[in-house]
Structure 1
Amino acid sequence: MPEIPLVPLHWHLPAHPKSVRRARHAVTESLPPALRPNLGDDLGLLTSELVTNAIRHGADGRDDDLIELVLWSADGHYWLAVSDPGMGKPALAHPGAEAESGRGLLLVDHIATAWTVRPRPTRGTSVVAGLAYRGGG
């Protein structure tokens, strides 16, 4: 009989800056305790950057805009998908030394084992990033 995979964890949060902290906490606390020392900080940073980008660039400012997070484990990775209603395609930027923002995806690119941008089937965009892990999960 095949091993039954875990059901992905799923959250909907308002597209509001206060949701960044809630998202980071929800995702890191969902990790198995044995993996938190190794993955917690990186997964928390990925969550913060992706949710912040989704709020700033993917939401159109309506009160009913939601950011969706999905977390699952597969193939030796923890995968995080952060989705927003926007139609833009996030891309790496290389801001100058004086720039005060624009480095979020550079951090994601540096921390994640792999990441990509996918259009949603109906409306919006998802950024999916994975972190490799060994055992404990």
Structure 2
Amino acid sequence: MRAITYAPPTQQHTKEYAMPGCPFPTRRRPTSAIPTVPAHWTLPAHPTSARKARQAIAEALPSDCLPELADDLGLLVSELVTNAIRYGTRLVDDDIIELVLWPADGHYWLAVSDPGTTLPTFTSPTPDACGGRGLLLVDAVSTTWAVVPRRVCGKSVVAGIRLRCD
């Protein structure tokens, strides 16, 4: 997966204008050059956070998104947050899960970060097993996904789903 970065153009037409109550001129960029600001949430490492994450994602999506995209993102965030809580935290009060959602490059990108160093692994659950399918679902629903180490501690699991909005 390639990294997504935003580099502003080196030459951009700007104009100065006076803002009421502001003692100095302000430069304005055309809005088309400003990337979408990612939505960001911090959640406690608690089992109820998976539900809160699904609600947050649903509320952050634009109203013209197809229900299938919202459903896929809801499933994806539920599995990633659940895995982060089960395998990436110590289930203590000070552990948190970070969740970021942003559209870029024709995808909705979702990053779920936790303080743990345990990497996700595929399992082969038996048909009657109650768990063990989370990463299989992530792999099936997302277009691409990867584990990215964080600078300070922990990791982020980043997944992308092709953008399908009306």
AA in 2 matched with 1:67:
I
Whole-angstrom CA distance in 2 between matches of 1:135 and 1:26: 18
2:75 counterpart (45, 48, 52):
45
Higher relative contact order, structure no. (Cα contacts within 8 Å, ≥ 6 residues apart)? 1
Task: Return the match for 1:28 from 52, 58, 67.
Answer: 58
Cα drift, residue 36 of structure 1 = 4.3
The percentage of counterpart residues that share the same residue type is: 60
Q: Which amino acid aligns with 2:137?
A: L
Number of residue pairs matched? 136
Matches of 2:105 and 2:124, distance apart in 1: 31
Whichever of the two has the greater Rg, that structure is 2
Whole-Å separation in 2 of the counterparts to 1:135 and 1:104: 25
Q: CA deviation at 1:92?
A: 1.7
Length-normalised TM-score, structure 1: 0.93
Shift of 1:81: 0.2
| Contact 2:89–2:95 under 8 Å retained in 1 | yes
Q: Does 1:16 align with 2:46?
A: yes
Q: Is the 8 A contact 2:69 2:164 kept in 1?
A: no
TM, length-normalised to structure 2: 0.78
Root-mean-square deviation (CA, aligned residues, Å) is 1.3
- Structure 1 gap ranges (5+): none
**Map of 1:55-134 to 2, 5 A cutoff?**
55-134=85-164
Structure with greater helix share of residues: 1
Contact 2:66 2:164 in 1 (8 A): no
- Tell me how far apart the structure 2 counterparts of residues 117 and 83 of structure 1 sit (CA, whole Å): 10
Q: Which moved more, 1:30-39 or 1:62-71?
A: 30-39
Q: Report the Cα distance in structure 1 between the residues aligned to 2:43 and 2:151, rounded to whole angstroms.
A: 20
